[in-house]
């Protein structure tokens, strides 16, 4: 018998489902009795914002930290605590609650709860539900650092991994008790990223992906330099999409104000020479190299060590001698055993001509082309993919959507 209103459409306010990465996903959120239970309220809100439908099951201890009414108001769904809840017609909420869920996420998951899962104990609604589930289980540990480091907990963590249960975190930092160490629950926005990644097909599993992103900055003197309008958003979106697709991702980034995507290793550089060194030292060990950064073609030949004063510049005009920067993409593509190289061509005009010429001249399997006015600095983009079979326009969408399409094209090429 189906549970009435089981994962019914949420009555909580939500945005349009257009582009929401968890649209249509049904998540059963388990909340256990830890101080981090307060973060589960924000997690509920953010999961719904990403398009998911969320239903909450709590332990009795969890209700001492956050009232069920909070989660009901946020999710627009009934909240369950009692294994004998009369709202379930057959008195089997431990069966009914998980049957239509795509995943069970327990956040926070206390040390006691992890032990229950390992031992197969079922002494309350949430532990019984987890034992009876027929969908994947994700757990986000939250506990004192001593509890996390305890050999018993570490044995349980190892067993959970052996049982194919995904462990999200924990993080390191200051804890509610005042101590510092591992045991903090991941922040809600990080957990949402992990849930999105969980549902993403792992088409790049086992692959090493190296990317560049953002502008470079070529110093003229200690306070001035040559740079460009690249925001870095396209490169960061690609790093995020590649990681969600299962790759180990290293992002070599010029100066941006963007946060590093979850699970991505970022190397911060400033100049084209720094970026060249960081890339060439890692390229040979990579399966894919995506050159998204807007790298300066030239740099000042002799940057000044002191700020240039107007009186020293020679009147109304100033002459600046430039020297050419190395071509990072060409150098990687010319390696004896190069990774699968993807170039980007941002042009002001004649896009098809210049992008195809770049692909042929640098011997690249794929070039992503766009007009500067379509992508620089914004959240959306309009691109054309150029490969040996011709030009392939992609629909105008968010940079995250474009990134997913590019990653899918790369994965198909590698598989083929």
Residues 128 and 241 in one domain: no
- Select which of 135, 177, 260, 341 is catalytic: 177
Active site residue 177: yes
- Token readout for 361 is 């001249």
Query: Same structural domain for residues 194 and 216?
Result: no
Count the Cβ atoms, other than its own, within 10 Å of residue 64: 10
User: Mind listing the pLDDT tens digit for each residue in 199-231?
Assistant: 999 999 999 999 999 999 999 999 999 999 889
- Cα–Cα distance for residue pair 58/68, rounded to 1 Å: 8
Residues 81, 108: one domain? yes
Domain contains 9 = no
Q: How many domains are there within the chain?
A: 2
pLDDT tier for residue 292 given thresholds of 50, 70 and 90: very high
Q: What is the pLDDT of residue 7?
A: 54
Sign, CA torsion 274/276/281/282: positive
Give me the pLDDT at residue 349, please. 87
Please tell me whether 329 is known to bind a ligand: yes
The alpha carbon of residue 61 and the mean position of all alpha carbons in its chain are separated, in whole angstroms, by 32
Please say if the pLDDT value at position 9 is more than 50.
no
Q: Is residue 267 over pLDDT 50?
A: yes
Q: Does residue 52 share a domain with residue 177?
A: yes
Q: Is 207 annotated as a binding residue?
A: no
**If pLDDT is split at 50, 70 and 90, which confidence band does 12 have?**
very low
Q: Which segment, 6-15, 55-64, 377-386, is predicted with the most confidence on average?
A: 55-64
For 82-95, write each residue's pLDDT tens digit: 877 667 666 566 67
CATH code of the domain containing 359: 3.40.50.10300
Among the three residues 199, 228, 261, which one is the final residue of a domain in this structure? Answer: 199
Are both 221 and 110 inside the same structural domain?
Answer: no
* Cα gap 229→214, rounded to integer Å: 9
State yes or no: 82 annotated in a binding site. no
Q: Do 255 and 162 fall within a single domain?
A: no
**Can you give the CATH number for the domain in which 85 is found?**
3.40.50.1950
pLDDT, residue 375, reads 54
Give the pLDDT of residue 14. Answer: 34
Is residue 211 within 8 A of residue 371, CB to CB? The reply is no
128 lies in the same domain as 155: yes
Range of the domain at 285: 208-415
Task: Tell whether 117 and 236 lie within a shared domain.
Answer: no
Same domain, 291 and 180: no
For residue 287, being part of any structural domain is answered with yes
Does residue 195 sit in the same domain as residue 215?
Answer: no
Is 383 within the bounds of a domain? yes
11 domain residue, yes or no: no
Q: Which of these, 279, 263, 273, 329, lies nearest to 299 by C-alpha position?
A: 273
pTM: 0.87
Q: Is 221 annotated as a binding residue?
A: no
């Amino acid at each position: 018998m189906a549970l009435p209103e089981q994962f019914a459409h949420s009555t909580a306010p939500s945005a349009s489902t257009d582009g929401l990465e968890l649209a249509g996903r049904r998540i059963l959120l388990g909340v256990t009795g830890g101080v981090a239970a307060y973060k589960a309220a924000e997690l509920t809100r953010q999961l719904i914002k990403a398009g998911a439908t969320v239903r909450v099951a709590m332990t009795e201890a969890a209700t001492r930290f956050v009232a069920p009414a909070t989660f009901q108001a946020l999710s627009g769904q009934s909240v369950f605590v009692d294994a004998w809840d009369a709202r379930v017609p057959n008195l089997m909420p431990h069966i009914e609650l998980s049957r239509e869920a795509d995943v069970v996420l327990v956040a926070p998951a206390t040390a006691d709860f992890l032990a229950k899962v390992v031992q197969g104990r079922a002494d309350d609604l949430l532990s019984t539900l987890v034992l009876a589930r027929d969908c994947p289980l994700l757990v986000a540990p939250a506990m004192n650092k001593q509890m996390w480091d305890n050999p018993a907990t570490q044995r349980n963590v190892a067993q959970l991994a052996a049982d194919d249960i995904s462990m999200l975190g924990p993080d390191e930092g200051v804890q509610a008790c005042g101590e510092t160490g591992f045991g903090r629950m991941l922040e809600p926005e990080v957990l949402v990223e992990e849930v999105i990644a969980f549902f993403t097909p792992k088409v790049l599993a086992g692959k090493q992906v190296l990317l560049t992103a953002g502008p470079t900055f070529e110093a003229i003197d200690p306070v001035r330099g040559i740079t460009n309008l690249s925001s870095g958003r396209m490169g960061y979106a690609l790093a995020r999409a590649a990681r969600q697709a299962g790759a180990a991702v290293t992002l070599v980034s010029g100066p941006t104000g963007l946060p590093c995507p979850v699970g991505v290793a970022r190397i911060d550089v400033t100049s084209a020479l720094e970026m060249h060194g960081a890339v060439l030292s890692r390229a040979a060990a990579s399966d894919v190299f995506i050159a998204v950064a807007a790298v300066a073609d030239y740099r000042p030949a002799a940057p000044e060590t002191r700020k240039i004063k107007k009186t020293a510049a020679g009147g109304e005009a100033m002459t600046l001698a430039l020297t050419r920067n190395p071509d990072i993409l060409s150098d990687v593509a010319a390696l004896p055993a190069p990774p699968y190289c993807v170039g980007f061509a941002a042009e002001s005009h004649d896009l098809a001509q210049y992008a195809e010429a770049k692909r042929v001249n640098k011997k690249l399997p794929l070039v992503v082309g766009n007009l500067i006015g379509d992508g620089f600095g914004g959240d959306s983009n309009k691109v054309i993919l150029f490969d040996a079979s011709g030009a392939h326009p992609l629909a105008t969408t968010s940079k995250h959507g474009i990134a997913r399409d590019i990653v899918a094209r790369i994965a198909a090429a590698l598989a083929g």
